């Protein structure tokens, strides 16, 4: 959704249940996310063709939902998420946010996690609450302002809502 004068109204991000819980427990309820100003680019008329599926919260949600439904243990989506969580834990430990024991705890959780633990959750974030926290990801071919993507390194839990739905 776009407010033409002031930018987006909402930002959307799909993440796994496991990533959410680890941030809640170990990172003081601060979440690292990629987000965009739309949920499903297919609702953006002809402009959606400029937005790849890898950037669509709706597509990411559908993919993860299907992976969990099928119980696909060898999915690249899950492997990628595991690696991202482990890399994040290592960064947090080096930054002094967690201890080595806590990093080991996170690794133990990731190692034992089952496919169902990677079910998708949708974060909905009011833009005006996070406009000072966002960093834009540069891309080569931006044909539409909504094709922008943002990273938020430390998104406090109080700044977003979490939705889980069935497809």
Q: Return residues touching other proteins (CB under 8 A).
A: 17-18, 20-22, 24-25, 32, 52, 54-55, 74, 76, 79-80, 82-84, 86-88, 90-91, 94-95, 100, 103-105, 107-113, 116-117, 119, 121, 135-141, 151, 153, 162, 164
Residue closer to other proteins, measured from CB, 10 or 51: 51
Residue closer to other proteins, measured from CB, 6 or 24: 24
How many other CB atoms are there within 10 angstroms of residue 166's CB atom? 5
Closest contact distance (angstroms) between CB of 144 and other proteins is: 13
45, 48, 69 from 143: Cα distances, Å: 13, 10, 35
The answer to whether 106 touches 22, Cβ cutoff 8 Å, is: yes
Closest contact distance (angstroms) between CB of 5 and other proteins is: 26
Angle between the N-to-C axes of helices 17-26 and 76-94, in degrees from 0 to 180, rounded to the nearest 10 = 10
Closest contact distance (angstroms) between CB of 71 and other proteins is: 13
9, 82, 160 from 64: Cα distances, Å: 26, 13, 21
Closest contact distance (angstroms) between CB of 13 and other proteins is: 14
């Amino acid at each position: 959704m776009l407010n033409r004068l002031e930018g987006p109204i909402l930002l959307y991000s799909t993440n796994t249940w496991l990533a959410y819980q680890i941030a809640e427990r170990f990172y003081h309820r601060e979440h690292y996310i990629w987000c965009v100003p739309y949920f499903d680019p297919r609702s953006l008329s002809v402009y959606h063709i400029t937005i790849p599926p890898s950037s669509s919260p709706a597509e990411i949600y559908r993919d993860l939902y299907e992976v969990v439904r099928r119980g696909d243990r060898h999915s690249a989506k899950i492997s990628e998420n595991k690696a991202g969580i482990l890399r994040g834990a290592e960064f947090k430990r080096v930054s002094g946010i967690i201890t080595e024991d806590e990093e080991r705890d996170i690794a133990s959780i990731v190692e034992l996690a089952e496919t169902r633990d990677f079910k998708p959750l949708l974060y909905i974030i009011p833009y005006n609450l996070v406009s000072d926290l966002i960093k834009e990801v540069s891309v080569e071919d931006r044909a539409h302002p909504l094709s922008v993507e943002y990273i938020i390194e430390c998104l406090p839990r109080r700044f977003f809502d979490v939705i889980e739905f069935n497809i």
